[in-house]
Amino acid sequence: MKCLLISLQSNAYVTGLKYIAANIHANSHEARILLLPGYLEPTLSPAIEDFIRDYNPDLIGIGLMSIEFYPAKNITRLLRERFQTPIIWGGVHVSTYPEECIKYADYVCRGEGESAVVSLLEHLRNKGKDVPPNIPNIWVRCNGKIIKQSVSSLETNLDNLPFQEYLPDYYYGFHNGKIYNFAKNPHLFRRYALYSGTCHMMITTRGCPFNCSYCGHTALIAVYGRKVRERAVENCMEELKAVKKDPYVLYINFEDDCFFVHSREWIRKFSEKYKKHINLPFIVRAIPTLLEREKLFMLKDAGLSMIVMGIQSGSDRVNFEIYDRRINFSSVMKAAELISEAKAVPFYEMIVDNPYETEETEMETIDSMSKLRRPYIISLAHLTFFPGTPLTEKAIKDNITTRDSSLYTYMPTKFNETYLNKLLRITPYIPRFLVRYLNKSVTSRRQFHLLLTNILYFTVRMTIEPAIFMFLISRSVNYNIKLTIRTLIGNWRPALSKLIFNYLGKKDLEYTERLISLRKTTPALFEKD
């Protein structure tokens, strides 16, 4: 049996589909992945039609986040005009709103899809598409009725799942009206891959122990629960050894919500094997209260280069009362001291443009961030109302957002360049006395404050921030000049794009703008059935 898995996102980071495809192959079926970046055309490209007709899949799967809902609806309609192949939708948006998604697909998968898709392929082979399947996680539309199956127990042993490949030979992409095999055309893969494909995006766990009100994970707790499941070190090494064979991979980017949920023994074992067999710089994510000194220094010795840590706000009131994130800023300061001591690159993520914040809490955040040990990199993201989260439900009731706003605005969107946002962005790079001088309320600001902040904002972004980033990268790889140059060369294009377009890359913004434009020119696509 053959399954074609389609991604409509703007980049080639398709970890979920890679896992599903790998499991399909491991169970004696075939799979291909096809990247159709933001496909919103009114007709199906002849190249896409020929590709599908030649492959002749028994099932077509479409993975989607909320931003891809309308593109998924569009491509499903186009596919039905040409093919009789059953279509299944899956992904974060489907797991959050299965009732909405089953209106457009033949099947939807609510929850993890690795085993469910394989079972569906076997059902189609043995019983055909006219017989409704009785498979956990799978909902089906049959004779005008919706048959819902309960969510199965989660796979507790992640080592049972085959790991994803960096660039599988069954991965294809639609580019300039033609379809290319990415493995045979790696330069095209790098064009669509995050960070130009210089890193391998990998997960060693599934789940997050926190329940933050703004986070998309919160909306999925009913499906996945809160327990963190982890892979064995040996299983991770198998994936990494295969990845290292590609000379273009410069570093590993671990996408776990918090790498430090692993036990000390797991991290000790991982660090020893990673240093011996892989020995590439790597990035991890951390939650301040879970970052431990012993774990941190073991990872640094193994090659840890950068730590991405979510701070979100420098105001305890905002974190506690609005974000339901029980982390005091004092814990952030302790974690930041450890990161600085370890000489890893500190990359701190902040949420701005929060309608529930006050000017006072925004100024408190700037004051708090100015106290952190320098140097560090800061990233600002506009508060996104992810579907189904407690904060989104509150904002809907308060008429701050609408239930479908996430369906046509990219996440996270470009942050607003307000006076305080600009000041927060440059806080790591200017003298603290200047931060204090400029950190004023709207009633206390003068024209000189505005002028000076604008000058500093432009200067810092164009000169000081890139210089600090280059220094931190060089320090994180122990001043290895060759590795520093390769890392900077491999990442200059996406870094420049994000510098120019503020937070998102150019492709992401083009995707959003086109989706918004289509709401005016093709209103029928955006009508709810």
Instruction: Identify whether the C-beta of residue 146 lies closer than 8 Å to the C-beta of residue 132.
Output: no
One domain for residues 347 and 446 = yes
Kindly tell me if the per-residue pLDDT of 243 is higher than 90. Answer: yes
Which residue type sits at 208?
C
Residues 204 and 130 in one domain: no
Q: pLDDT per residue over 255-292, tens digit each?
A: 999 999 999 999 999 999 999 999 998 999 999 999 99
Q: At which of 136, 159, 182 does a domain end? A: 159
User: Are residues 10 and 108 part of one domain?
Assistant: yes
Q: pLDDT band for position 72 (50/70/90)?
A: very high
d(CA 137, CA 108) in angstroms, rounded, equals: 8
Residue whose C-alpha is closest to residue 284's, from 192, 204, 190, 373: 204
Given a cut of 60, is residue 502 above it in pLDDT?
A: no
Domain co-membership, 251 together with 147: no
Q: What's CA 50's distance to the chain center, in Å?
A: 31
Q: How high is the pLDDT of residue 269?
A: 98
Separation CA 429–CA 306 (nearest Å): 18
Residues 378 and 430 placed together within one structural domain of the fold? yes
Please say whether the beta carbons of 348 and 472 come within 8 A: no
- Asked whether residue 164 is assigned to any structural domain, the reply reads no
| Residue 499 banded pLDDT, cuts 50, 70, 90 | very low
Cis peptide before 412 (omega within 30 of 0): yes
In a domain, 521, yes or no: no
Q: What pLDDT, on a 0 to 100 scale, did the predictor assign at position 491?
A: 53
* CATH code of the domain in which 305 resides: 3.20.20.70
- Residue 183: inside a domain: no
Q: Which pLDDT score is estimated for 489? A: 60
Q: Is the pLDDT of residue 501 over 70?
A: no
pLDDT band for position 410 (cuts 50, 70, 90): low
Is 499 found in the same domain as 372? yes
Give me the numbers of helices (H) and strands (E) for the chain, helices first please.
21, 17
- Decide: helix, strand or coil at residue 33: strand
pLDDT per residue over 11-26, tens digit each?
A: 899 999 999 999 999 9
Q: How far apart are CA 319 and CA 429, in angstroms?
A: 24
Residue 157 binned pLDDT confidence (cut-offs 50, 70, 90): very high
For residue 26, give Cα distances in angstroms to 13, 15, 91: 21, 16, 21
Same-domain status, 249 and 383 = yes
pLDDT at residue 158 in the model: 93
Q: What is the mean pLDDT of residues 394-413?
A: 77
How distant is the alpha carbon of residue 329 from its chain centre? 25
Average pLDDT over residues 219-238: 88
Report the pLDDT value the prediction gives residue 507, as an integer from 0 to 100: 61
The 3-state secondary structure of 142-202, one letter per residue? ECCEEECCCCCCCCCCHHHCCCCCCCCCCEEEEECCEEEECCCCHHHHHHHCHHHHCEEEE
Of the chain, the percentage scoring pLDDT greater than 70 comes to 93
Number of domains in the chain: 2
| pLDDT for res 498 | 46
C-alpha–C-alpha distance, residues 72 and 67, integer Å? 9
Tens digits of per-residue pLDDT, 439-463? 999 999 999 999 999 999 999 988 8
Mean pLDDT (the chain) is: 90
pLDDT band at residue 508, thresholds of 50, 70 and 90?
low
pLDDT band at 110 (very low <50, low <70, confident <90, very high): very high
Residue 188 maps to a domain: no
Structural domain span for residue 87: 2-159
408: confidence class by pLDDT, cuts 50, 70, 90: low
Instruction: Report helix, strand and coil shares of the chain as percent, to nearest 5.
Output: 50, 15, 35
Check whether 494 has a pLDDT greater than 60: no
H/E segment holding residue 346: strand 345-352
pLDDT tens, position by position, 112-143: 999 999 999 999 999 999 999 999 999 999 88
Q: Domain check: are 365 and 297 in the same one?
A: yes
Residue 104 falls within a domain, yes or no? Answer: yes
Question: Does the residue 467 lie in any domain?
Answer: yes
Q: What's 428-457 look like in SS3?
A: HHCCHHHHHHHCCCCCCCCHHHHHHHHHHH
Cα distance between residue 358 and residue 363, in whole Å: 9
Query: Does residue 165 register a pLDDT over 50?
Result: yes
Whether residues 242 and 143 share a domain: the answer is: no
pLDDT of 227 reads 85
Is 213 in the same domain as 306?
yes
Is residue 525 in some structural domain? no
Answer for the pair 274, 302: CB distance below 8 angstroms, yes or no. yes
Residue 500: per-residue pLDDT:
40
For the record, the structure tokens of 128 come out as 């055909």
Please state, as a whole number, how many other Cβ atoms lie within 10 Å of the Cβ of residue 337: 13
More confident residue, 496 or 46: 46
- CATH number of the domain residue 69 falls in: 3.40.50.280
Q: Same domain, yes or no, for 19 and 147?
A: yes
Q: What is the pLDDT of residues 319-378, one digit of tens each?
A: 999 999 999 999 999 999 999 999 898 999 999 999 999 999 999 999 999 999 999 999
Q: Are 454 and 445 in contact (CB under 8 A)?
A: no
139, 244: one domain: no
Which of helix, strand or coil describes residue 466? helix
Decide if 393 is inside a domain.
yes
Predicted pLDDT at 492: 46
CA 221, 225, 227, 233 dihedral sign is: negative
